[in-house]
């Protein structure tokens, strides 16, 4: 579904991401792991066409054969929130603090085909119920906890049954119990829609639970990739071994 080939991202002459290549098949769950600053989020933003203006990308990003790096903003806008959706680490950055959450979920469906306001509101209520928030339609984001806000963002991301859901450290700021609940919702949401998942994190315990396959990123490059079992039980790269040694999985 997604084929990334030779992707590099530059700030001036400095390469922030270098020659990254990977594929994600229909319904596949892929983890992108590495420490902060390794280029994980930049890679995801490039796939969605959301790079800051001062950065430029070269290489190829194909979505069902369509070249996204040369696509117009209009074409990308039709894909984002529809075929391609993203959940960010900090939900408040993705929510309008002045708009009730139900309306925000409803607007995400109206932007991509639900013309009737009543039907959009009904769908928004069903989506909120599906993420365990049946009573927050008229609430404002600041009235919700961090875990609840992240569920709202997930409802928005899943509103139009995306072919690919990208989650960028979606549970990092949450406590362990809420983290587990949000992970269950993400897995249930993509399974119900047969969506593919690109899950970005530095937490090996999370990707061990969530992902079929792993990509390991260091200093802007993919240094190892393979099935989750292969990478976590027999890592080939020294950096992957260090990540494993520092994780909870080592003790387990």
pLDDT in tens, 204-225: 888 999 999 999 999 999 999 9
Residue 110 — pLDDT band, cuts 50, 70, 90?
confident
Note whether residue 122 is domain-resident.
Answer: no
Q: Does 86 reside within a domain?
A: yes
Q: What is the mean pLDDT of residues 162-178?
A: 91
Is 22 a member of any domain? yes
| CB-count exposure of residue 111 (10 Å: 0-12, 13-18, 19+) | middle
Provide the 8-state DSSP code for 174: S
Domains held by the chain: number: 1
For the question of whether the overall pTM of this predicted structure is more than 0.95, the answer is no
Per-residue pLDDT averaged across 195-212, rounded? 93
Q: Residue 197: give the domain boundaries.
A: 2-96+164-251
Residue 233, in any domain of the structure: yes
| Residues 104, 96: Cα–Cα separation, whole Å | 8
More confident residue, 157 or 252: 157
Res 45: pLDDT: 95
Please, which pLDDT band fits residue 246 given cuts at 50, 70 and 90?
confident
CATH of the domain at 175: 3.40.50.300
The answer to whether position 142 is within a domain reads no
Is a pLDDT exceeding 70 seen at residue 102? yes
**CA 159 to CA 126: how far, in whole Å?**
10
Nearest residue to 136 via CA among 160, 152, 120: 152
Enter the DSSP assignment of 177. Answer: H
Residue 246: inside a domain: yes
pLDDT of residue 81: 82
């Amino acid at each position: 579904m997604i084929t990334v080939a030779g992707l590099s991202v530059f700030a001036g002459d400095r390469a922030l991401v270098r020659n990254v290549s990977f594929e994600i098949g229909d319904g596949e769950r892929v983890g992108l792991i590495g420490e902060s600053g390794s280029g994980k989020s930049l890679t995801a933003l490039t796939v969605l066409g959301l790079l800051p203006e001062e950065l430029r990308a070269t290489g190829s990003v194909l979505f069902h054969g369509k070249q996204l790096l040369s696509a117009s903003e209009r074409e990308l806008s039709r894909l984002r929130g529809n075929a391609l959706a993203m959940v960010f680490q900090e939900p408040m950055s993705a929510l309008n603090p002045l708009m009730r959450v139900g309306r925000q979920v409803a607007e995400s469906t109206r932007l991509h085909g639900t013309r009737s306001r009543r039907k959009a509101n009904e769908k928004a209520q069903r989506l909120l119920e599906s993420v365990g928030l049946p009573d927050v339609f008229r609430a404002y984001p600041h009235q919700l906890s961090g875990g609840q806000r992240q569920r709202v963002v997930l409802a928005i991301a899943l509103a139009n049954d995306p072919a690919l859901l990208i989650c960028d450290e979606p549970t990092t700021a949450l406590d362990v119990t809420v983290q587990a609940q949000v992970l269950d919702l993400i897995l249930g949401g993509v399974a119900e829609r047969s969506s593919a998942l690109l899950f970005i994190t530095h937490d090996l315990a999370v990707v061990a639970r969530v992902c079929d396959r792993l990509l390991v990123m260091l200093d802007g490059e993919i240094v190892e990739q393979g099935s989750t079992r292969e990478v976590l039980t027999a890592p080939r790269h020294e950096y992957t071994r260090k990540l494993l040694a520092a994780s909870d999985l080592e003790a387990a």
